[in-house]
Amino acid sequence: MTDYNAPVQDIRYVLDELVGMADIAQLPGYGDATPDLVGPVLEEAAKFAGETLAPLNRVGDEEGAVFENGMVRTPQGFRDAYALFAEGGWNSVPFDPEHGGQGLPWALATALQEMWASANLSFSLCPMLTQGAIELLQNHGTPAQRADYLPHLIAGTWTGTMNLTEPQAGSDLGAVRTRAMRDGKRYRIVGQKIFITYGEHDLAENIVHMVLARLPEAPPGVKGISLFIVPKYLTEGHGASGPRNDLRCASIERKLGIHASPTCVMSFGDNGGAVGYLVGEENHGIEYMFTMMNNARLGVGVQGLAVAERSYQLARAYARARVQSRATGSRGGPSDPIIRHPDVRRMLMSMRAQIEAMRALIYFTAGALDRAKRHPDEAERERHRLLLDLLIPVSKAWCTNRGCDVTSIGIQIHGGMGFIEGTGAAQLFRDARITPIYEGTNGIQANDLVNRKLMRDKGAAVRAFIAGVAETEIELGGVAGEDFLAIRQRLTAARAALAGASDWLIDAYARNIDDALAGASPYLELFGLVAGGWLMAESALAARARLAEGVDPPFHQAKLITTRFFADNLLPHAPAYATMVANGARSTLALPEAQF
């Protein structure tokens, strides 16, 4: 596998031109996020990702995590890399300085997450879940819990996990059976959880499990779920390590990809009950856990982007080096690199354009998160919170679907060598495949988009988003040139398709919810496509402005070309998705169950 070089210039471009880092730096508490700081942070992160994490990616895939005598050993080099990660303060970037964080924007932290996941997806999963546990405790923990756990989690000396899934309860959390029993001010937790990422490992001093469980008298379903902190080692006072808690890793899974990331079966309470500490109020665990889940969903969207970027870099290098056949129009002479063949160029441009759209969408969503948290005007905070809620399922699902598509194209560019493990292209494809599944399958994200985000206000938030797209079309209309005319025409058609599909779903939902939900996945694909196209158009407008200033013409001209490719080759799918939304339900639901 070729080296990973973080695309720092592209990352900085999106942060500055599309997210508006200068504006975010004006938000309360973000004053340190100046260009003089952001630039060096990105450069140092790129260096760490490329020199420390990326070389371990192949090692991790081939060696994998090893389970022995109840312990998990991570692959060679992972412990040293994690120690350097924690010592470098990379775990602390977006968190509260009161507990040791650096207090920098989530938009910047998201850019760093992209680098970690591109360099080594398996490694990046551990800090991603720790990040979610920190967010959960910052929002819902007691002052004592925050004092006990946050300094260690933020420093990275402890790590966090999310314990939801059970053998009989996959995505249906209302079926959770893990029990919690009161024991004075503490609780005793008994049960089994599966698919627990980094549930056991050798990277950190302690592992803090966030566990959903049910009290004996709790009401049925999700309304009877409570949330508990269950540390591997019990803590005393302000976080000093105490005795081992009554929990263990029973096994780890053999998986298609992310081999270096231990996916654990966790057993709680084999000897009387693991000690747990209630977060918030009893029977409100689901609403608290959603803080961690939404954080993780955005993080998984980043993974879709990240693995696609690594695949693109690999395919691009191969296409430049692989010599096969003469290019069209060649007259004699040696064979040419395959990058000169039109279909290979088409595939590379498809990878590039989708990656740029993914990066724009993910970072834009992270910018909405920063504004929802820190904007001084309450109305603006609420506006960005609604936008954030709308974009989280789209960012997670659309970007992970694209990650699978892009890594598949990467194999195709390699030809037969892509199907051979030695090139590294196959690993990226295998690693990417989990991302549409975990943290809520993409079908669940689509249902969430329709059930909760579209229908809660009968489309008001969606219409506000669509109005923003229309404003960009007006701006495009004021720019001369064939490229901007084509971009505007394609974006207008795509925006109209999204508006029509949204109206159809609102009407259909009132008549027959199954008809509406049968179109939920193509609706999410449509939404992501329009969002990506809109932000690509904004990118083209920004690039035009920089070109007028004479700034780095090759870089900014490439932005215009890539946007035109997205408009010509990807946005035309939007009306087809709208057709699927409005017309697909009948045939989707018509076949009798026995006929499948």
**DSSP string computed for 154-169:** HHTSEEEEEE--BTTB
pLDDT tens sequence across 560-590? 999 999 999 999 999 999 999 999 999 999 9
| 104 lies in the same domain as 237 | no
Same-domain pairing of 174 and 232: yes
For residues 31 and 52, membership in a common domain is answered with: yes
Return the pLDDT at 1.
64
Going by DSSP bridges, is the β-strand pair 263-268/247-252 parallel, antiparallel, or unpaired? antiparallel
Residue-wise burial string across 514-540, b where 16 or more C-beta atoms lie within 10 A, e elsewhere: ebbbbbbbbbbbbbbbbbbbbbbbbbb
Of 236 and 349, the one with more pLDDT: 349
Q: How many domains does the chain have?
A: 3
**Does 29 reside within a domain?**
yes
Domain boundaries, position 248:
158-285
pLDDT band, residue 332 (cuts 50/70/90) = confident
Task: Write out the two tokens for 54.
Answer: 């990326």
Closest CA to 352 of 536, 512, 189: 536
Same domain, 131 and 252: no
The pLDDT of residue 128 is 97
Whether residue 218 sits in one domain with residue 112 = no
Among 123, 155, 187, the domain boundary falls at 155
d(CA 77, CA 99): 29
Give the domain CATH number at 239.
Answer: 2.40.110.20
Taking a C-beta distance cutoff of 8 angstroms, is the pair 326, 333 a contact?
A: yes
Active site residue 538: no
Residue at a domain's end among 238, 261, 285: 285
Is 185 contained in some domain? yes
Q: Judging by DSSP bridges, how do beta strands 274-278 and 225-231 pair with one another?
A: antiparallel
Q: What's the rounded Cα separation, in Å, for the pair 449 and 222?
A: 20
Task: Determine which one of 17, 356, 439, 538 is catalytic.
Answer: 439
Task: Identify whether residues 579 and 465 lie together within a single domain.
Answer: yes
Element (H, E) at 21: helix 21-24
Residue 33 lies in a domain: yes
The whole-number pLDDT of residue 561 equals 98
Q: Is the pLDDT of residue 173 over 90?
A: no
Residue 131 lies in a domain: yes
**CA 210 vs CA 95, 132, 186, 228, 289: distances in Å:** 19, 10, 15, 6, 8
Using DSSP, state whether 249 is helix, strand or coil.
Answer: strand
Of 159, 164, 97, 100, the closest CA to residue 126 belongs to 159
Residue 75 inside a domain? The answer is: yes
Same structural domain, 128 and 96: yes
Eight-state DSSP code of residue 454: I
In a domain, 493, yes or no: yes
Q: Any residues with CB less than 8 A from the CB of 24 and at least 6 apart, and which?
A: 30, 33, 105, 107, 367, 370, 371
Write out the two tokens for 450. 């329709």
Query: What is each CA distance from 169 to 192, 193, 255, 284, 447, in whole angstroms?
Result: 11, 9, 20, 18, 18
d(CA 436, CA 520): 15
| Single-letter amino acid, residue 312 | Y
Quick one: 65 and 166 in the same domain? no
Question: So what's the pLDDT on residue 334?
Answer: 87
179 with 126, same domain: the answer is: no
Q: Please tell me the predicted confidence (pLDDT) of residue 237.
A: 58
Asked if pLDDT for residue 444 goes beyond 80, the answer is yes
**Same domain? 455 vs 582:** yes
Read off the pTM.
Answer: 0.97
> Is residue 468 included in any domain, yes or no?
yes
Q: What is the 3-state secondary structure (H, E, C) of 313-335?
A: HHHHHHHHHCECCCCCCCCCCCC
Query: In the predicted model, what is the mean pLDDT of residues 496-514?
Result: 97
Query: What is the band of 239 on the pLDDT scale with cuts at 50, 70, 90?
Result: low
| Statement to judge: residues 470 and 561 lie in one domain | yes
User: Using 50, 70 and 90 to split pLDDT, how confident is the model at 240?
Assistant: low
Percentage of the residues of the chain whose pLDDT score is greater than 90: 94
Q: CATH number, domain at 114?
A: 1.10.540.10
Residues 575 and 460 in one domain: yes
Domain-terminating residue out of 285, 317, 338: 285
In a domain, 418, yes or no: no
Q: How far apart are CA 133 and CA 247, in angstroms?
A: 19
